[in-house]
Homo-oligomer: A and B are copies of this chain.
Amino acid sequence: MAMTTDARGSPAERSRQRRERILDAAAHVFSRAGYRDAAVDDIAREAATSKGGVYFHFPTKESIFRELIRSTAERLVAKVEREVARETDPVLQADAAIWTVLRTFAGHRSMARLLLVDALGAGRPFRAELLRLHERFAELIAGYLDRAVAEGVIAPLDANVAGSAWFGAIHEVVLRWLVADRPPPLERAYPTLRLLLLRSVGVPEERLAELPNR
């Protein structure tokens, strides 16, 4: 009845799956131990393969981590942009972005750990990459704010600083949730955070009153 081996699919397919298994294991190990303290041997063990097996699929330890970060961030950005695109009003777009980020992180705690915590302990090159990621999010936000200014919804402001500040505020709130012992649901911070952020750029109180409930 049950197959005696799990040798399903073509060789190419099996190889792809193995690669994926290694990536999954790596995500696990990295977010448990941090980049430096995660040994390739640990990843190999958790992926039920060997160090040689890992190095067959990836040239370096660093490349595993990079790929993990890149694809994770990619998915998040895409998700945010998709949700934002469903709205046309800049205020609602900003709100949707905040909500999507919080909700996604809330549902993927270890992914969040990887992206926000571990990547920092990984040495120079990663920090640079991570900071570019920060920048990317900050610019995403700055873009929405600029459009809000252009449409006259809010008064002009330095969108770069505001983008960084928004990103930093969200980042820190998520970080606190990540490192707390038994944290309340992340979503609970949403109403306060949304109010703070929207008010900070001068969205008028009337607009704030008519925001959707979540």
Residues of A within 8 A of B (CB): 34, 36-37, 117, 120-124, 127-128, 131, 134-135, 138, 157-158, 161-162, 164-173, 175-176, 179, 189, 192-193, 195-197, 199-202
Contacts and interface: CB of A to CB of B under 8 A. Distances in A.
Contacts of A171: 168, 172
B157 A165 contact: no
A195 B156 CA distance: 12
Contact of A173 (B128, B164, B170, B179): B164
Contacts of A128: 179
A169 B176 contact: no
Contacts of A175: 131, 134, 168
Contacts of A34: 123-124
Contacts of A193: 161, 165
A81 to B, nearest CB: 21
B162 A168 contact: no
Contacts of A195: 157
B124 A123 contact: no
Contact of A121 (B121, B131, B134, B135): B121
